[in-house]
Structure 1
Amino acid sequence: MGPRCSEVTAVGRVLTLGVRPWLMGVVNASPESFSDGGTVRGVDSQLERASQLLTEGADIIDVGGESAVTNQPALRAEDEIKRVVPLIERIVNELGAIVSVDTYKAEVAEAAIAAGAVLVNDVSGLRDLALADVCARTGAALVLMHTRAAPKQRLQDPDRYDDVTNDVVSFLADRMRAATARGVADDALILDPGPDFAKTPLQTIELLRRFEDLHALGRPLLLAVSRKDFIGALTGRRPSERLAGTLAAVGHCLDAGGHIMRVHDVAAAHDYVTVRAALRGELEVNRTLALDDSIRHEQ
């Protein structure tokens, strides 16, 4: 099935989702990040990375100042703000990109939106309702993610859920009610089932097998499957070696109607969705399409 078309309001913008897959490229301003922390080298380098991701086909740049790794303490809000605000300002002003901020702290979200972010990617499951207040006041879009663990805590309990998909649906429905009760518009909400968050690899796999069930909630779906633990558990690969597994998960979730794919390897994901769309008849292919001789052979 294809994704259901939906519009998302985000600080005066209207994001039309579902016509084609959107790619959210990841720019980490967090040296402790599990996947690419060793490459974080300051704002200039991060801006260059954002520019590269946009060239490769990213529709949204997701800026995060604190990694979800559980072997590090939580950052103070003021320290997280110092990491993300200068970068967001430059991405917006110099690159003209749509920017999301990956944070669960209301103070960070407020500063990031003031700097130009239009979407808040909250991986806490809206534990702090003040975050909804910020989005309601500013008009920012809000990603609500399923998790039963507090930020920076790891929950791996194979007996935690009788039915993990039902738990995700009921949890997200509750969080939607909580957000709208604080004034967040219905059309500002995006949902993320939270692969790996408070889930064992098997629980994540069981959830993604029934991904279509989430359409009952009526909002666009964001999938953050890139380089995730469940892929590593299945393949025995380290994060940097999980591209093939990531693309398999992306394809499955697109087939089930996903709207936004949050990925580290934007160029590969863009190639994947381009070829997929052509073969499915979703991309018009000109009869003059031909391979440029300069790329026919390896040099």
Structure 2
Amino acid sequence: MSTLIMGILNITPDSFSDGGNFFTIEEALIQTEKLLNDGADIIDVGGQSTRPGHIEVSLKEEIDRVIPVIKAISSKFNCQISIDTYRHEVAELALANGAHIINDVWGLQRDNGEMAKVASKYSCSVIAMHNQDSKEYKEDIILSIKKFFKKTFEIAEQNGVNTNKIIIDPGIGFGKGYDENIEVLNRLDELTCLAPLLIGVSKKGFIGKDMNLTPSQRVEGTIAVNTIAVAKGAKFVRVHNVLEHKRAFSIADKILKK
């Protein structure tokens, strides 16, 4: 199967790369059309930044940002939509209004199973990301990530989620510093036995660290990281620059016989 590309659509004023660019329904629809035309397989809609130092918005604000946009996208385009949220209330409303996938940056572990119950109710796919509050690891980092996902699968099973519909994301940039990010990316193949793997590194700080690059200057580095990730077994990538990745994977997938 060819690498699937998730196009990022942030309905936020403060996301590190595109904050404020698609804050209205009209702007969001224009960007969605561009992402789809560029080759996106999934549109990932988020209403709250998760960048370092972000300010948490209220539940009402997050709902007011994303639900009208998801309704509009669902009405205008025939495409897969994921909702990027760790709040089960937002996920449920999104699924009821046209979304198909939950993208949870806390891997079903933030709300005592409520997100898992929503996933079970709608029989939807779930992207479960590894996360933790600190950047310290008292054991091997891959072992720690595997233990995290073991708990994710246990929560899913306890709440009736079809575990075959779970996609895992190792959470590059979340609860990890530069060295941890590099190590996890180097050892991705040790995680592919758990579930299909999604990688979300688009324009993140560690990519531009060595050359002091701004987010807009990190496109080539992002493509390099994602191509290596795909070679190590990743099935999905979450990106801002869809067209460039579509072109890169058109040859990379052939070489990798995907």
The TM-score bracket by the shorter chain reads: over 0.9
The answer on 1:139 being equivalent to 2:123 is yes
Rounded to whole Å, the distance in 1 between the matches of 2:223 and 2:73 is 27
2:232 corresponds, among 249, 256, 264, to: 256
The equivalent of 1:63 in structure 2 is 45
The answer (yes or no) to whether the contact 2:25–2:69 under 8 Å persists in 1 is yes
Rounded to whole Å, the distance in 1 between the matches of 2:169 and 2:40 is 18
Amino acid at match of 1:44: E
- CA distance 1:116–1:234, change in 2 (3 Å): same
Give the deviation of 1:78 after TM superposition.
Answer: 1.6
**Runs of 4 or more consecutive aligned structure 1 residues displaced over 3 Å after TM superposition:** none
Unaligned 5+ segments in structure 1 are: 1-18, 150-154, 284-299
SS at match of 1:203: helix
The answer (yes or no) to whether the contact 1:235–1:245 under 8 Å persists in 2 is no
The equivalent of 1:295 in structure 2 is none
Q: Mark the structure with the bigger radius of gyration.
A: 1
Give the deviation of 1:164 after TM superposition.
Answer: 1.1
TM-score by length of structure 2 reads 0.95
Give the deviation of 1:234 after TM superposition.
Answer: 3.2
SS at match of 1:190: strand
SS at match of 2:36: helix
Note the 1:1-299 alignment, pairs <5 A: 19-126=1-108, 127-128=110-111, 129-149=113-133, 155-157=134-136, 160-217=137-194, 219-278=195-254, 280=255, 282=257
Give the deviation of 1:121 after TM superposition.
Answer: 0.3
1:197-227 deviations in Å (ceiling 9; x for gaps): 000011010011110000221x111110111
Rounded to whole Å, the distance in 1 between the matches of 2:35 and 2:237 is 13
Unaligned 5+ segments in structure 2 are: none
- CA distance 1:111–1:238, change in 2 (3 Å): same
Amino acid at match of 2:122: T
- CA distance 1:80–1:214, change in 2 (3 Å): same
The answer (yes or no) to whether the contact 2:129–2:169 under 8 Å persists in 1 is yes
Q: Percent identity?
A: 35
- CA distance 1:224–1:39, change in 2 (3 Å): same
Amino acid at match of 2:211: T
